Amino acid sequence: MSKLYSVGELLIDFQSVGTGGLKETKQFIKNAGGAPANVCVQAVKLGQKAAYLTKVGDDGFGEFLIDSLKKEGVDVSYISRSGEYDTSLAFVSFKDGGEREFSFYRKAAADLHFTEQDFKDVNFRADDVLEFGSVALKTAQARDTHKFLIDRAESAGALICFDPNLRFNLWESRQELKDAVKEFAAYADVIKAGADELEFLCGLPVEEAVKIMFGGKLKMLFVTDGGKGAKLYLADGRSYSCEGYKVNTIDTTGAGDSFFGGAIAQIMRLNLSADNLVNGKTDYGKILDFACKCGAYTTTGYGAIPAMGDRENIEKAVK
């Protein structure tokens, strides 16, 4: 059976109790987080096998994160611990109207300092998937390690999936982030990006930016746009749209990750690989539609991982 390998940040999401800014918030609830980790868990909840690749601090927070993923059925054998660096932390507060305020504590994060040696035992197969984002690309060491894994995955014929997941406040400049994302986007077969992210990266409206994105290896591009739904573009020029689903939204945390996890799970379920990802037989509209359902469902509860559903609950609740 194929397996998803997600690599990147693994952090504690401290989410505010009640509404207000970080300055006013007095209580927080602790949950496991990190975009690639969320993607990984969603895929597992949808019946796929998945492993997470990262490093955490040798502390109670790190233990909590490993236990949290393990309880969800994720293979945690490639998560190492560091006595030199810390476990990443993120504080999130919810304002009136659904807006969120973030504060990250990861300048000395263990997940910015994993090495090739940490993942030397990772061996990909042609039907596997490697997925990652931009948050853990901040250091040269982490970028080199991502390239090591990408090279191994490509050599095996595995599918490469990338989510830019732009977090401007984690980088020295917007240009530094843009350069890193463009470099690693070139390795991807599948990309999921927000409409605003795509416009930032290409400096053009979405439809024009899409054409630029397909100038190289890319075969499939998902473009999300919040409550406006999402679109799926293929390298052969076909495109699909989904208006999204109306649900009782409580918290949008992890909705995009759930969307991407749902899309990847569908791709794996249909036995699509780098070689046959774009073909004349697959109903790509259904892949997009189900991904939108996953994202919508996750917004109906608090947190990312705690709010994610399995296939039965998602199909039952989101119509």
Q: Is pLDDT above 90 for 39?
A: yes
Under 8 Å CB-to-CB from 67, ≥6 apart: which residues?
none
Strands of the chain, DSSP E: 3-7, 11-19, 28-33, 49-57, 79-82, 88-94, 100-105, 129-133, 159-163, 190-194, 220-224, 230-234, 239-242
Question: Which pLDDT band, with edges at 50, 70 and 90, does 212 fall under?
Answer: very high
- What per-residue confidence (pLDDT) applies to 75? 98
Give yes or no for a contact between 209 and 198, defined as CB atoms under 8 angstroms apart.
yes
- Provide the edge-to-edge strand list for the sheet that holds 79-82: 79-82, 49-57, 3-7, 129-133, 159-163, 190-194, 220-224, 230-234, 239-242
Q: Is pLDDT above 80 for 216?
A: yes
- What per-residue confidence (pLDDT) applies to 215? 85
- What per-residue confidence (pLDDT) applies to 19? 87
The whole-number average pLDDT for the span 144-155 is: 98
Q: Is pLDDT above 80 for 286?
A: yes
Give yes or no for a contact between 313 and 297, defined as CB atoms under 8 angstroms apart.
yes
Q: In whole angstroms, what is the distance from residue 255 CA to residue 297 CA?
A: 8
Residues 88-123 pLDDT 10s: 999 989 877 667 788 999 999 999 999 999 999 999
Burial annotation 17-32 (CB, 10 A radius, 16+ → b, else e): eeeeeeeebeebeebb
Q: Is pLDDT above 90 for 65?
A: yes
Q: In whole angstroms, what is the distance from residue 92 CA to residue 69 CA?
A: 20
